[in-house]
Structure 1
Amino acid sequence: MSEFTPRSARHGRQSRGNDEAWEWVQALAIAVVLALIIRYFVLSPFSVAGPSMLSTLHNGDKVIVNKMIYLIRDPEPGEVIVFHASEDKDYIKRVIALPGQTVSAQNNVVRVDGRSIEEPYIDERNRTADFGPVKVPKDHVFVLGDNRMNSSDSRELGPIPLDRLVGRADVIFWPMNDFSFLW
């Protein structure tokens, strides 16, 4: 057996190493692109700021927002949504009424189209000040915070245009001991 190793054999091992490194670079690049696509178009984290959704959500809770759901269907009453309240601020609130419906509150009872709605997410000590009636325009939703005494919502902002919705808050993922689904 000769001590001479053909140059092609040495190159083959080096070539395989380069191929493997190139495959890792490609795999990582694809993973980064997929993560960015998911982050910006499908699911996004959102950090709750303030007490407006107590006792459902607390200041500092982190939720996952489903950005695709409202491309497939319209919002439904009771869903917790994130929307652009202004150009630089997003809010998280609960959908109470849909386009064409009339919403009001009297004596701490919220009514949609004259019927009181069940609100098991509201703390019994929480009060809803009288308002309305407000007819929700086409392509809008009426939203309220769960902590009605401390929430800037449709009572102040007016009905929210559907094109300002970011998505539906689906999961509380932080802190871990509060992990739960919101639907």
Structure 2
Amino acid sequence: MILFRKIRSWISSLAIACILSLIIGVFVIQPYRVDGHSMDPTLHDRQRLLVSKLSHTFSYYPDYGDIVIIDSRVDRKRGFVDDVLENPLIQLLTNKDDRAFYVKRVIGKPGDVLEIKAGNVYRNGEPLDEPYIKEAMNNYTVGRWEVPANHIFVMGDNRNHSEDSRAIGFIPLNHVIGKKVL
């Protein structure tokens, strides 16, 4: 009988720890690993980060220049189930490796007009000071975008080797998974 109580106590403690881990991972903070070189030189392949999910939980916009984790599948709706399934504990249990999540920098918010001319990015007619980029963009890269409501525009710091809003389009606010904190 005493052994049964001890086992039950251990199981209940583990269950509480798992539930707290899920809640924290879904709503507050989550570890993330960089996959690729699109954020060089700021972040490197396989570097680990901690991501604050508060902006996602409370649906507020990240600031210009913030490094964010995005769900690049912008053509599909996201829901609470997605947030739960993306939790590291669930991914560990299911052995899921999803490469749809990108690390990028916020360049534009709703209403901004972004242009790329002669290898430089302009926001609302003003050139951006971007000391964090790896190298100047190729001169053949040009474009003009107006960011719609409830969306952001993101780019990698390694502009010549980044799949970002120039290719996948505007990022819906609910596809911004979180903001880099460490």
TM range (shorter): 0.7 to 0.9
> What are the superposed Cα offsets for residues 86-140 of structure 1, whole Å, 9 maximum, x if unpaired?
27511111000101100112223211000112212113xx122442221111111
Match of 2:36 among 45, 50, 67: 50
TM-score (norm 2): 0.75
Q: Which structure: larger Rg?
A: 1
Contact 1:110 1:128 in 2 (8 A): no
Cα distance in structure 1, aligned partners of 2:121 and 2:133:
11
Could you say what the CA RMSD is over the residues aligned between the two structures, in angstroms?
2.1
Pairing of 1:11-90 with structure 2 (within 5 A): 22-72=8-58, 73-86=60-73, 89-90=100-101
Moved more, 154-163 or 36-45: 36-45
For residue 114 of structure 2, give the secondary structure of its aligned residue in structure 1: strand
> What are the superposed Cα offsets for residues 65-92 of structure 1, whole Å, 9 maximum, x if unpaired?
2112233321211011111112751111
Structure 1: gaps (5+ residues): 1-13, 172-183
Match of 2:143 among 132, 138, 151: 132
Cα distance in structure 2, aligned partners of 1:31 and 1:43:
15
Task: Give the residue type in structure 1 aligned to 2:108.
Answer: A
For residue 64 of structure 2, give the secondary structure of its aligned residue in structure 1: coil
For residue 133 of structure 2, give the secondary structure of its aligned residue in structure 1: coil
TM-score (norm 1): 0.75
For residue 100 of structure 1, give the secondary structure of its aligned residue in structure 2: coil
Cα distance in structure 2, aligned partners of 1:101 and 1:117:
13
Contact 1:102 1:112 in 2 (8 A): yes
Q: Identify, as 1 or 2, the structure richer in strand.
A: 1
Percent identity between matched residues is 36
